[in-house]
Amino acid sequence: MTSRPEETNHNMDSEICILGAGPAGLMAAICAARERPGVTVVEASPSAGRKLLVTGGGRCNLTHDATIDEFVRAFGEAGRFLRHSLHEMSPTDVRTFFHDHGLLTTVEADGCVFPADGRAVDVREVLLTEAERAGVRLRCGSPAIGVALEENAFAVATARHVVRAKRLIVATGGVSWPQTGSTGDGYRFAAALGHTVVAPKAALVPLITQQKWPGSLAGVAVRDVRIYAKCSPRKIASVGAIVFTQDGLGGPAAQDISRLLADELADGRSDIGLCIDLLPQTPLPELDGQLQQRLSAHARKTISNVLAELVPRRLAATLCTLAGCDGETQAGQVSKETRRAIAALLKALPVNVTGTRPIAEATVTRGGVDRRQIDPKTMASKVCTGLYFAGELIDAEGPCGGYNLQMCFSTGALAGRSAARSLSNKSPSTA
């Protein structure tokens, strides 16, 4: 099911209304409805979880095989805020949730967790099936256009109806990939209800470089590199794959760097020096020695061909050019200086970052609803009783590797349960 039970056009009362049927909203709905009936989800798009379908290149990296402490560290400044929610639904709980509903998961060598069948659509299917089983009313194709706090309820206006609910969970996502429905409406609703919104910035987004040569390598991927910032007072580094793009660098390692440099880049710093260590396992002196051996062992091959044993062929040719030598030179003719220059480039290929691709192309949004105004033990608003937040809408984003979906599931589960439990309490002020 992509859009289950449709409703007729009429006003409707609910116990809990959730805005947004992404991973955070659906998990909130399931967890709330398992506690008490009367949960309605209002979704703008004609079908639920559209962004979920494109995650992990359609395979959905749904969490990471890491401890809660490791998750907390990975989220940096937001980590402490997320600790409680990560205990509410841990990475292990996420995997158990999907296993219990027939979706086996597998852990890859780098710790990323995917559905065993590699199909994001099955992750969405489990969420929708469980939401239906729990009795959630899902209204797709109904963008919320306004939210107001009336005497005893929130009134959520859509073009066709008004949903009145005692509790409201806003889970409308950030502003990246707006074509999947996340257009930033939740920021407007949060602000209308008294919240501060930290200016959204692109995070986990491809970098634009001053150098033009990456464009000639567009599409070439290199696995297991280390990227580090040359002159940052903070220690900024990431490891993983990169992919050269028309105007710079993409892939998880480059995107993680974009997140770590998001504030500098948003502040207009337009020349940040990075180095790419293409062979991080091998120290420079050892690498130079290996190169020397290879060049003499294959003296009649071209230098490009020798280097292609270490890095992708097209990159090998570019490295030769950057080192000032012709890639067609016979390996036996390469001077010591050139060999050393190539070894140095393999260990520290310099690029200058001048910016990032637009936020619409980012994997996640940095910024959003100020987490200082959200109770980390419940995800309840500290400024508006009965209001809750979940998912990417909150100012908390993690690195590539399943961290962000885990955050959505954890905050969604906590918000859903807290909202439902607050209704079981005698006093609404315990919301």
Ligand X SMILES: Cc1cc2nc3c(=O)[nH]c(=O)nc-3n(C[C@H](O)[C@H](O)[C@H](O)COP(=O)(O)OP(=O)(O)OC[C@H]3O[C@@H](n4cnc5c(N)ncnc54)[C@H](O)[C@@H]3O)c2cc1C
Residues 166-205 as x/- pattern, contact with ligand X by CB under 6 A = -----xxx--xx---xxx-x--------------------
Angstrom distance (rounded) from CA 230 to CA 132: 52
- Are 369 and 389 contacting, i.e. CB atoms less than 8 angstroms apart? yes
User: Of 61, 255, 282, 422, which lies in the binding site for ligand X, with binding defined by CB under 6 A?
Assistant: 61
Which pair of structure tokens corresponds to residue 422?
């607050």
Torsion of Cα atoms, 275 then 243 then 352 then 289, to 10°: 30
Alpha helices (H) in 75-184, listed in sequence order: 79-88, 91-100, 120-133
Q: Mask of contacts with ligand X, 330-369, x by CB under 6 A?
A: ---------------------------------xx-----
Bridging pattern class, strands 162-170 and 12-19: parallel
Size of the site for ligand X (CB under 6 A): 40
The residue written with tokens 């290996």 in the block is 290
Sort residue 427 into left (φ over 0), alpha (ψ -120 to 50) or beta: beta
Tokens read off for 172:
């409308």
Nearer to ligand X, 64 or 294 (CB): 64
Nearer CB in complex with ligand X: 274/408: 408
Among the listed residues 7, 34, 37, 54, the single contact to ligand X using CB under 6 A: 54
Binding span for ligand X by CB under 6 A among 5-13, 21-29, 76-84, 299-307: 21-29
* Binding track over 393-412 against ligand X, x by CB under 6 A: x--------xxxx--x----
Query: Per rule CB under 6 A, is residue 24 in the interface with ligand X?
Result: yes
Within residues 117-146, the interface with ligand X by CB under 6 A covers 143-144
Residue range at the interface with ligand X (CB under 6 A); choices 6-14, 85-93, 209-217, 389-397: 389-397
Token code pair at residue 278? 């293409």
For the chain, how many helices (H) and strands (E)?
15, 18
Longest dimension (CA), the chain: 85
Let me know: does 236 contact 390? Beta carbons within 8 Å: no
* Cβ atoms of 169 and 414 closer than 8 Å: no
At closest approach, how far in Å is the CB of 368 from ligand X?
9
Of 163 and 279, CB closest to ligand X = 163
Contacting range for ligand X; rule: CB under 6 A; set: 32-40, 49-57, 238-246, 328-336: 49-57
Among 40, 55, 90, 318, binds ligand X (CB under 6 A): 55
From the CB of 281, what's the least distance to ligand X, in Å?
Answer: 26
Alpha helices, DSSP H, located in 104-261: 120-133, 185-192, 213-216, 252-260
Nearest-approach distance from CB 120 to ligand X, in angstroms: 8
Which residue of 14, 40, 45, 356 would you call a contact of ligand X, by CB under 6 A? 45
The window from 45-53, 292-300, 337-345, 372-380 that contacts ligand X (CB under 6 A) reads 45-53
The minimum distance between CB 431 and ligand X, in angstroms, equals: 21
Strand partners, 240: 225
Asked if 206 interacts with ligand X (CB under 6 A), we say no
For ligand X, which is the closer residue by CB, 14 or 176? 176
User: Which x/- pattern over 261-290 shows residues binding ligand X (rule: CB under 6 A)?
Assistant: ------------------------------
Contact (Cβ atoms closer than 8 angstroms) between residue 316 and residue 327 = yes
Cβ density class 3-18: b for 16+ within 10 Å, e for less: bbeeeeeeebebbbbb
Pick from 12, 23, 261, 331 the residue near ligand X by CB under 6 A: 23
Please say which residue, 54 or 348, places its beta carbon nearer to ligand X.
54
Sign of CA dihedral 342, 348, 349, 352: negative
The least distance separating ligand X from the CB of residue 421, rounded to whole angstroms, comes to 21
Give the number of residues written for the chain: 431
Report in angstroms how near the CB of residue 185 gets to ligand X at its nearest.
Answer: 3
Residue keyed to tokens 């809408």: 393
CB 310 within 8 A of CB 345: no
The residue (of 214 and 399) whose beta carbon lies closer to ligand X is 399
Of 209 and 410, which has the nearer Cβ to ligand X? 410
DSSP codes joined into one string, 184-210: SHHHHHHHHTT--EEEEEEES-PEEES
Q: Which residues bind ligand X (CB under 6 A)?
A: 19-25, 42-45, 50-52, 54-56, 60-61, 143-144, 171-173, 176-177, 181-183, 185, 363-364, 391-393, 402-405, 408
